[in-house]
Amino acid sequence: MQFHSRKGSPVPASFGSVNRMRTVEVLEAKEENCSVKTLTFSDELCRNADPGQFVMVWIPGVDEIPISLSGINTDGNTSITVHDVGDASRALNKKQKGEKVGIRGPFGKGFVPSKGNVMVVGGGTGIGPLIPLSEKLVKIADKLTVMSGVKNQDNLLFVDRVDQICSEGNSETVYTTEDGSYEFSGFITDQAEQKLMNEKFDMVYTCGPELMMYKMFLLTEHYKVPLQASLERIMRCSIGLCGSCQIGKLRVCKDGPVLTSEQLRSVKEEFGKFRLDATGKKIKQP
């Protein structure tokens, strides 16, 4: 990762500066739906992060958790999107404008933008990290298809942002709700399969529940399309030392969080099947 000096020359960001805890102020706290909020802050090191990279967010007195970036702007403003699912994310979800949190990062390997006909598939809040990626893809791809699946209409995320991005190039949007309350009824993987059956794609990107991404992995393997998937694991150190995010021989914080088809094949005995819990014990995916 690099950031630029005032004269425009690239200046490498040292590991020490990236891994150093910085305190940032919440500039905006936007409620996306009943359980999801987007927090925006300003940080020099994050302004040139790659889509798919993550930061470690420290909530004083609670915990430190990894969250992928859902907004990356060259003006220095960066966003994270938080789903109220646990103690730390619940505490973070309650943060308001003017309050402060700690961050380290950005860490990990992000998405590599591809030209040609590309597909982006997000499940739930997994659409968040795919937004900065889509902003890059729409400028270089021949065609961009953005697909987002949620349980019901109340859980929809970033519809306006997706529509704005897709208005800038040759693109298509597909939304699914499990209860049929918005656009297509059913699972997003079903609509993705229809697309893969009828179009030739050069790359597929995905982020969301692991079982959904595992289904996308099987589909892209069947249709011989390369895949980039952003995995989620428990992370403590974020630099590949503690092993809490290990899957096979890979460490998600360092080798990922975005893994390629080739990498996923090497961990296919665990991907979509097992993960490590907070004690390091291997458990089945929920």
Fold for domain 117-284?
Rossmann fold (3.40.50)
3-state DSSP call for residue 218? helix
CA distance 151 to 155: 6
- With CA atoms as reference, report the closest residue to 56 among 86, 25, 88: 88
Residue position matching structure tokens 């349980």: 151
Q: Which amino acid is at 177?
A: T
Domain boundaries for CATH 3.40.50.80 within the chain: 117-284
* Partners of 215 in the β-ladder: none
Residue position matching structure tokens 């990498």: 263
Dump strand ranges (E) for 73-230.
Answer: 77-83, 100-107, 117-123, 143-150, 171-177, 184-185, 203-207, 227-230
- Indicate the pairing of strand 54-59 with strand 100-107: antiparallel
Are 276 and 233 within 8 A, CB to CB? yes
- With CA atoms as reference, report the closest residue to 43 among 4, 12, 82, 73: 73
Are 236 and 244 within 8 A, CB to CB? yes
CATH of 2-106, one of 3.30.360.10, 2.170.120.30, 2.40.30.10, 2.60.260.20: 2.40.30.10
Contacts of 275 (CB under 8 A, 6+ apart): 210, 233, 234, 247, 282, 283, 285
**pLDDT tens track of the chain, all 286 residues?**
443 433 444 445 566 788 899 999 999 999 998 889 999 999 999 998 999 999 999 998 899 999 999 999 988 899 999 998 888 899 999 999 999 999 999 999 999 999 999 999 999 999 999 999 999 999 999 999 999 999 999 999 999 999 999 999 999 999 999 999 999 999 999 999 999 999 999 999 999 999 999 999 999 999 999 999 999 998 888 888 888 999 999 999 999 999 999 999 999 999 998 888 888 888 888 7
Cis peptide before 106 (omega within 30 of 0): yes
3-state DSSP call for residue 102? strand
- Indicate the pairing of strand 22-25 with strand 100-107: antiparallel
- With CA atoms as reference, report the closest residue to 69 among 87, 93, 43, 46: 46
Please report the pLDDT score of residue 6 as a whole number: 39
Please report the pLDDT score of residue 74 as a whole number: 81
CA distance 35 to 161: 19
Please report the pLDDT score of residue 2 as a whole number: 40
Please report the pLDDT score of residue 14 as a whole number: 66
Please report the pLDDT score of residue 3 as a whole number: 39
- With CA atoms as reference, report the closest residue to 230 among 90, 124, 74: 124
CA distance 136 to 118: 12
The overall longest dimension of the chain from CA atoms, in Å, is 53
CA distance 190 to 25: 41
With residue 169 as reference, give the H or E element that holds it: none
Dump strand ranges (E) for 108-189.
Answer: 117-123, 143-150, 171-177, 184-185
Answering whether pTM is above 0.85, one says: yes
Domain boundaries for CATH 2.40.30.10 within the chain: 2-106
Instruction: Count CA within 13 A, CB hemisphere, residue 54.
Output: 31
